[in-house]
Structure 1
Amino acid sequence: MATDGTEVLIRTVTQEEAAVLDGWLGLLKTGGSLQSGRIRKAELETQAKSVFGFFREALRAGGTDASGEAYGPLRDTLSDISRSRAIQGFTPTDTANFVLSLKEPIFDALNRVSATDASQIAAGTWTVSKVLDQLGLHTMEVFLQSREEIIGRQGEEIAELSTPVVRLWDGILALPLIGTLDSARTGVVMENLLQAIVDEEAEIAIIDITGVPTVDTLVAQHLLKAIAAARLMGADCIISGIRPQIAQTMVHLGVELNVVSKATLADAFALALRRTGRTVVRKPQAPSNEALR
């Protein structure tokens, strides 16, 4: 008759509950979590005791089916811990070890409880490995998903910060672009530019591409979209920052922006001033005291 690993595991965890929890806490405290300074000892102990309590109750109520309803509270708790660790900057290894390190004290407990029966030890070892591996995978899935969400939000924030619209003069705006211009960023660029045109009642918008590493057909299309959107809002556009290398590349690819372009932002600003009927002149110097003598 085959040994029931589930019964062996439940009996072991019940009889050796205190020893298993103490052993697990000891491993967690000597691991890298506390040394990193990202979590306090009291918080780590609270998390471990909560997870172990739910694990014990789930074993008694639902056996070893980690995807079952009995394991719902445990999975929810592990999900919360994984999300918090993703925010705190824990590594995937630290997060996975939080669950997987529970194996060692349970293995030790199995050897104490079933020391004279190798089949029970083998069955219990296989069962606990299967359950904790499933819980470990769940923990990692939530951790990686949370980290991807964090990276996505940070990317959006960086995109917002990297596309500032600067007011150069009454009715004249400048949009300095730095880095690669892709479809997602084009949307942010257009949104910021159009909102600034409305807020400032701008007549001219200067799009400076000095910080754009290269301009190919795709980047040119994105620029044209931003220019067309600005024109629909009643603002003319000037492109500045066309470097010799970019000009050669655009000619080679047959890219045409169909918009006035200038080599520098200063040249584009001077043109914008002329278009709005303004001019900048040097103020005459006041005569020095020696010249009056």
Structure 2
Amino acid sequence: MTTVAPDALASTLRDNAEAVRAVWLDTAAAELRGRTSRGELEREQSDIYEALVDGLDAGSVALDTPAFDQLRGILADVSSARARLGFTPRETAVAVFALKEGLYSLGAVRGDGISALLRLVDDLGLFTFESFAAAREAIISEQAEQLLELSTPVVKIWDGIVAVPLVGTLDSARTQVVMEKLLNTLVETGSEHAIIDITGVPAVDTQVAQHLLKTVVAARLMGAECTISGIRPQIAQTIVALGIEFGDITTRASLADALVDALRSGNRTAALGTSA
């Protein structure tokens, strides 16, 4: 069986582009069932087909060679776009694998030639799937970071006083976000008192306590005094049982108590409705 040269395959694909792409488009459109417009699908397939032919023209049938750099880039972009639009891995890969149906219609390519093209399409589909998976992981990581920031607000509750109401588990990653947001807010607002409220933290263990201490130390380095509020009876018992020492850090049972202390420490007695 005679091996068909890549540039000969390129010529065949170029000469039969209209017929191959028509079958490819119909097959992909049927598989995707309206998930994307026919016009958009046709534009994507046009870019992929042209880059495929150019790679073959450069003398290669291996996707991992420089000849197909442009094609890999196009497939990565399409996969990333599909991932962000909520397509499934199958929907993303099947749009590429559907090219096989168009190749089967090529009567001019037989034996090693069609086998080489089909193997190349398999590689295209697998690369698309891998690119989709990588894009989804990046999106999930990005969304997790966004949720982390949204779940850790730093709010100004009075002139010179900011509060960090924590809800949920406090781990190393979240502690880093808390410290960064708290320090930035202290600088932006010129506040000298920070309240870290742990009413919404379900449990305090040694690790959580260490994270709280790190946050307090970071705020103090910026010249702000810190109060930890939300020390419920169960939390207090746990802290005592674990032998956790908060040292000279002020703690209060509620955010309201911590706010009163902060107002008094800043000589804001008028705000409390009392005389100095």
**Which TM-score applies when normalising by structure 2?**
0.85
Letter in 2 for 1:257: F
User: Aligned partners of 1:184, 1:13: CA distance in 2, in Å?
Assistant: 52
The yes-or-no answer on 1:185 pairing with 2:174 is yes
Letter in 1 for 2:242: L
Measured after TM superposition, the shift of residue 238 of structure 1 is 0.9
Q: Of residues 235, 251, 255 in structure 1, which corresponds to 2:240?
A: 251
Aligned residue for 1:62, secondary structure, equals: coil
1:171–1:63 CA distance, 2 compared to 1 (3 A): closer
Q: Which runs of 5+ in 2 are unaligned?
A: none
Letter in 2 for 1:20: V
Q: Of residues 105, 115, 119 in structure 2, which corresponds to 1:109?
A: 105
Q: Which moved more, 1:204-213 or 1:250-259?
A: 250-259
Measured after TM superposition, the shift of residue 157 of structure 1 is 2.7
Aligned residue for 2:71, secondary structure, equals: helix
Q: Of residues 97, 121, 124 in structure 2, which corresponds to 1:135?
A: 124
Contact 1:16 1:109 in 2 (8 A): no
User: Aligned partners of 1:174, 1:9: CA distance in 2, in Å?
Assistant: 67
User: Aligned partners of 2:54, 2:268: CA distance in 1, in Å?
Assistant: 79
Identical columns (%):
47
- Report the counterpart of residue 17 of structure 2 in structure 1: 17
Measured after TM superposition, the shift of residue 47 of structure 1 is 0.8
**Which TM-score applies when normalising by structure 1?**
0.80
User: Aligned partners of 1:179, 1:173: CA distance in 2, in Å?
Assistant: 20
The yes-or-no answer on 1:277 pairing with 2:270 is no
- Report the counterpart of residue 94 of structure 2 in structure 1: 97
Measured after TM superposition, the shift of residue 22 of structure 1 is 0.9
Letter in 2 for 1:28: A
User: Aligned partners of 1:72, 1:195: CA distance in 2, in Å?
Assistant: 43
Q: Of residues 73, 78, 83 in structure 2, which corresponds to 1:81?
A: 78
- Report the counterpart of residue 55 of structure 1 in structure 2: 52
- Report the counterpart of residue 66 of structure 2 in structure 1: 69
Letter in 1 for 2:212: L
Aligned residue for 1:214, secondary structure, equals: coil
Aligned residue for 1:238, secondary structure, equals: strand
Contact 1:6 1:64 in 2 (8 A): no
Aligned pairs, how many? 270
- Report the counterpart of residue 261 of structure 1 in structure 2: 251
- Report the counterpart of residue 198 of structure 1 in structure 2: 187
Q: Of residues 226, 234, 237 in structure 2, which corresponds to 1:237?
A: 226
User: Aligned partners of 2:234, 2:34: CA distance in 1, in Å?
Assistant: 51
- Structure index of larger Rg: 1
Contact 2:10 2:54 in 1 (8 A): no
1:276–1:11 CA distance, 2 compared to 1 (3 A): closer
Q: Which moved more, 1:93-102 or 1:148-157?
A: 148-157
User: Aligned partners of 1:199, 1:78: CA distance in 2, in Å?
Assistant: 44
Contact 1:181 1:212 in 2 (8 A): yes
Q: Which moved more, 1:247-256 or 1:174-183?
A: 247-256
Cα distance per residue 1:246-269 (max 9 Å; x no partner):
333333333233322222211211
Letter in 2 for 1:99: V
User: Aligned partners of 1:213, 1:155: CA distance in 2, in Å?
Assistant: 20
After the TM superposition, list the runs of 4 or more consecutive aligned residues in structure 1 that deviate by more than 4 angstroms.
5-12
Letter in 2 for 1:21: R
Contact 2:5 2:59 in 1 (8 A): no
Measured after TM superposition, the shift of residue 224 of structure 1 is 0.5
User: Aligned partners of 1:230, 1:11: CA distance in 2, in Å?
Assistant: 68
Measured after TM superposition, the shift of residue 142 of structure 1 is 2.7
Letter in 1 for 2:3: D
- Report the counterpart of residue 287 of structure 1 in structure 2: none
- Report the counterpart of residue 218 of structure 1 in structure 2: 207
1:56–1:243 CA distance, 2 compared to 1 (3 A): same
